[in-house]
Amino acid sequence: MSTFTTSDGTEIFYRDWGSGQPVIFSHGWPLSADDWDSQMLFFRDHGYRVIAHDRRGHGRSAQPSGGHDMDHYADDLAALAEHLDVRDAIHVGHSAGGGEVTRYLGRHGQGRVEKAVLISAVTPSTVQSEANPDGLPRSAFDGLQAQLAASRTTFFRDLPAGPFYGFDRPGAERVDAVVDNWWRQAMMGAANAQYDCVNAFAHEDYTADLAKITVPVLVMHGLDDQIVPYAATAPRTAQLLHDGTLLSYPGYPHGMPTTQADTINADLLAFFRS
């Protein structure tokens, strides 16, 4: 397996396939680089070098007792880019991975980056407040942690079978293989990392990070996202960016890179080539 070790001694697993302009993928909570299979194969076959890592405490990466916060995640992403010496990269982040990409750009600059994409991202904030009335109440995130602590395996079966992919919507056809793959990835990670990561993506504010980003950024979000509400995130993110473009998808769920991979991949490719 390909790994590197961060400055605090954490071993990070990554995939690095193909050649050409590098595209680096940052996965959502509580998954792994495997969640990008459809995208990595597609873009490798379209002439890109595709890279994805397992966030610390997730997948095949080490499971340290600490460091499960966005600053560490951004530093790990920066260390990956430096380890592979990538230049003119395109960064793509889904959900919590969108927060990771945003914090990376805000914290480490854009010297190695040409473009970025935020898919169903947690930016600029997800918690309900006076400034963000469409956000989720803090109790919703407390509930995630409580369910994880009570029975991680049950919770990680129920979430993808329901709102994550929109399989709970009337007329939706549940795909058992997709649910099983989500559960498999989630159970590979460490419970402590996944528990703490909820705080990392739920209670952060990325407004200052977004304001620093000057490279072109594509913001993609489903209007039927039940995990990260559209109104609280995507339009506000696009407005805060210097060069942001918003693509909205009626009826699409949070996990649309999997359930609507053909559409998402085509739109990503058009942005990469623009």
Q: What residues act catalytically?
A: 95, 225, 254
Q: How far apart are CA 16 and CA 23, in angstroms?
A: 10
Residue bearing tokens 């003119």 = 88
**155, 263, 270, 90 alpha-carbon torsion, rounded to 10°:** 10
Q: How far apart are CA 194 and CA 169, in angstroms?
A: 26
With H, G, I as helix, E, B as strand and everything else as coil, classify residue 200.
helix
Q: How far apart are CA 185 and CA 60, in angstroms?
A: 10
CA–centroid distance for 136 within its chain: 18
The set of residues, in sequence order, having a beta carbon less than 8 Å from that of 193 and lying 6+ positions away, is 55, 56, 57, 58, 63, 64, 68
Q: How far is CA 87 from CA 81, 111, 219, 247, 274, in A?
A: 8, 8, 22, 26, 18
Residue bearing tokens 């982040």 = 93
How many of the other CB atoms lie within 10 Å of CB of 137? Answer: 11
CA–centroid distance for 12 within its chain: 16
**170 membership: H or E segment, kind and range:** none
| C-alpha gyration radius of the chain | 17
